[in-house]
Amino acid sequence: MRFHSKNPVLTKIASSSETSYSYVTGKTATFSGIAIKTGILLAIIFGISAVIWANIEALTTYLPLMIISGMIIGFISVIVASVSNRAAPFFTILYAICEGLVLGSISGIVDFGIEAGLVANAVLITFVIFGFLLVAYSTGIFKVGFTFRKIFMTALFSIVIFTFIYSILTLFGLSFIKVSFEFLLILSIIMIIMASFSLLIDFDNCKMAVSGGLPSRYEWNLSLGLLVSLVWLYMEVLRLLILLASRRD
């Protein structure tokens, strides 16, 4: 059995010969196994974020360094986990640690420097969306097929190319779009929708992996894929709330 993923974390799974039942000799991936590992990763992120928040004043000088280093090491961790299944458990946990540093620092800056309560609202909204998507997918309201994946990949590729070109032109003072509040609002909503679609595809990847009998060690890859999309969704929701807060001011 083979399936396609928009997520580099799952690229190796999609092409692995171990997706065949004949290669499965041990324990296979389960939804409970994926859920437990995802819960562990989220606990790491929340734990590190809590430590940062409790010491936000003492760590103020180091926040930029934690954000930059966390993003770089986190990105590398995702790449390594996508090409080495044996290393996936270690680098998945390392990614969670890095995201704890990044999200804890950014969230601390937002809550203490912009507006208190924005982070709590962003976390709540993120998990409400996550729960809704999970229920909607499980009950068949949202279906993920080849066309859905193709549209998602096309849209994501278009956004990346547009952002790259716009950034280059802006550096040379050739911006061709007026960046208004309305433009940023529409862009933010689009990105939240994209992150939500990413989660739907991750749900489908988990379902296909479990039904296809992948070895249990791939649960780490699947959990990492979910975490990457969940972090993306949270950041986009937080960005939207910051935008709306700036409008009120």
Residue 109, amino acid: I
pLDDT for res 180 = 79
What's the distance, CA 223 to chain centroid?
Answer: 11
Q: Which two tokens stand for residue 155?
A: 């849209």
34-93 residue pLDDT tens: 999 999 999 999 999 999 988 988 898 999 999 999 999 999 999 999 888 889 999 999
Residue of 79, 126, 75, 122 whose CA lies nearest to 98:
75
19 in a domain, yes or no? Answer: no
239 in a domain, yes or no? Answer: yes
Residue 167, amino acid: S
163-199 residue pLDDT tens: 888 778 777 766 666 777 888 899 999 999 999 999 9
Domains in the chain, number: 1
pLDDT for res 162 = 84
Give the CB-side neighbour count of residue 60, counting CA atoms within 13 A: 5
- For 88-100, what is the mean pLDDT? 95
pLDDT for res 16 = 46
Q: Which domain holds residue 225?
A: 8-13+25-248
- For 19-31, what is the mean pLDDT? 63
Most confident of 6-10, 16-20, 121-125, 174-178: 121-125
126 in a domain, yes or no? Answer: yes
199-231 residue pLDDT tens: 999 999 999 999 888 888 899 999 999 999 999
Dist. CA 99–CA 106, nearest whole Å: 10
pLDDT for res 38 = 95
pLDDT at position 18 over 60? no
Residue of 214, 223, 233, 228 whose CA lies nearest to 3:
214
208 in a domain, yes or no? Answer: yes
88 in a domain, yes or no? Answer: yes
207 in a domain, yes or no? Answer: yes
Distances (CA, A) of 88 to 47, 76, 204: 21, 12, 20
